[in-house]
């Protein structure tokens, strides 16, 4: 690997050749809605990341948030219990980007032109920029016993995550692939079945060190409550345009501050 700052971080399979061939995975991502790169981070890098996340945890901000699956305003045209308005909830702890040391492996990965061009090719995008605000580009999320991420569709059309630590029981990612629209309209009937637990989604077994990329805008997803142990998940967040900040409301909710 040319970039010496990235030496000994990635798993053996993640060579320069791998990073220059992102586009070969695009079709699979589009068809399956998800891609998992196993052992993306090698054992040494993983140990470093786990130590770092453990040290930072005491500075994390604990949030509980409530929303509907569309992450949008209440719609008076529907009842409170409708799939459109039903309340979901998330609780977790979060470390914003400005508390992550600049020398962190996470920052190196995020800033690496090699890795970024891999993501760009894979997601068929032209440009990726960090968030304008100092908090939102890289986040470390901690889910302790009882913490969960309720059903929702993401606002952005893709999400890039790295599992740093897996919990012992619970904390399972579950999704329904590309089911949001039916005849170009929101498929509320299916969402209702999902929320009422009448259908089961695809459960994803991911392991520590795995990189996961998913298209969460058309695929409803959740992470079930952690029952034992602790789950630590990093999100790498990019923007297609420069100068974009995460909304003040979201920053307040997840970081407890806006700068």
CB of 57 to Fe ion, least distance (A): 22
For residues 89 and 102, give the distance between their C-alpha atoms in angstroms, rounded to a whole number.
Answer: 32
Kindly state the smallest distance separating residue 221's Cβ from Fe ion, in Å: 6
User: Closer to Fe ion at the Cβ: 39 or 219?
Assistant: 219
The two three-digit tokens of residue 175, written as one number: 């999704």
Smaller CB distance to Fe ion: residue 15 or 30? 30
Q: Does 154 bind Fe ion (CB under 5 A)?
A: yes
Nearest-angstrom CA–CA distance, 3 and 9: 11
Distance of CA 122 to the CA centre of its chain: 16
33 counts as binding Fe ion under rule CB under 5 A:
no
Closest CB 34 distance from Fe ion, rounded Å: 12
Find the part of the chain contacting Fe ion (CB under 5 A) among 18-26, 96-104, 129-137, 147-155.
147-155
Closer residue to Fe ion (CB): 19 or 173: 173
Q: Which stretch binds Fe ion (CB under 5 A): 127-135, 148-156, 161-169, 204-212?
A: 148-156
Count residues near Fe ion (CB under 5 A): 2
CB closer to Fe ion, 104 vs 137:
137
Does 98 engage in binding with Fe ion (CB under 5 A)? no
Min dist. Cβ of residue 162 to Fe ion (A)? 15
Shorter beta-carbon distance to Fe ion: residue 39 or 159? 159
> Closer CB to Fe ion, residue 22 or residue 216?
216
Structure tokens belonging to residue 32: 């399956």
The CA distance from 164 to 152, in Å, is 23
Select from 1-9, 101-109, 150-158, 180-188 the region that touches Fe ion (CB under 5 A): 150-158
What is the footprint of Fe ion within residues 204-233 (CB under 5 A)? 216
**Identity of the residue, 19 or 176, whose beta carbon is nearer to Fe ion in the bound complex:** 176
Where do contacts with Fe ion occur on this chain (CB under 5 A)?
Answer: 154, 216
């Amino acid at each position: 690997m040319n970039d010496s700052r990235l030496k000994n971080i990635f798993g053996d399979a993640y060579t320069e050749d791998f990073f220059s061939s992102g586009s070969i995975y695009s079709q699979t991502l589009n068809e399956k809605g998800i891609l998992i790169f196993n052992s993306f981070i090698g054992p040494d890098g993983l140990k470093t990341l786990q130590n770092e996340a453990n040290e930072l945890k005491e500075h994390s901000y604990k949030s509980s948030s409530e929303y509907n699956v569309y992450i949008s305003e209440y719609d008076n045209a529907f009842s409170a219990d409708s799939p459109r308005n039903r309340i979901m909830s998330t609780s977790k702890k979060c470390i914003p980007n400005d508390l992550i040391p600049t020398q962190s492996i996470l920052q190196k990965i995020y800033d690496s032109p090699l890795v970024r061009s891999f993501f760009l090719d894979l997601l068929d995008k032209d440009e990726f920029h960090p968030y304008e605000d100092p908090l939102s580009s890289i986040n470390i999320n901690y889910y302790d016993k009882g913490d969960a991420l309720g059903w929702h569709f993401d606002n952005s059309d893709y999400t890039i995550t790295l599992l740093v630590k897996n919990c012992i029981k619970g904390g399972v990612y579950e999704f329904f692939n590309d089911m949001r629209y039916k005849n170009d309209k929101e498929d509320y009937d299916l969402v209702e079945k999902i929320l009422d637990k009448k259908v089961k989604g695809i459960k994803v077994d991911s392991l520590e060190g795995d990189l996961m990329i998913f298209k969460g805008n058309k695929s409803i997803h959740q992470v079930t409550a952690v029952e034992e142990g602790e789950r630590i998940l990093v999100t790498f967040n990019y923007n297609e345009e420069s100068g974009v900040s995460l909304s003040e409301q979201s920053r307040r909710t997840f970081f407890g501050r806006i700068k």
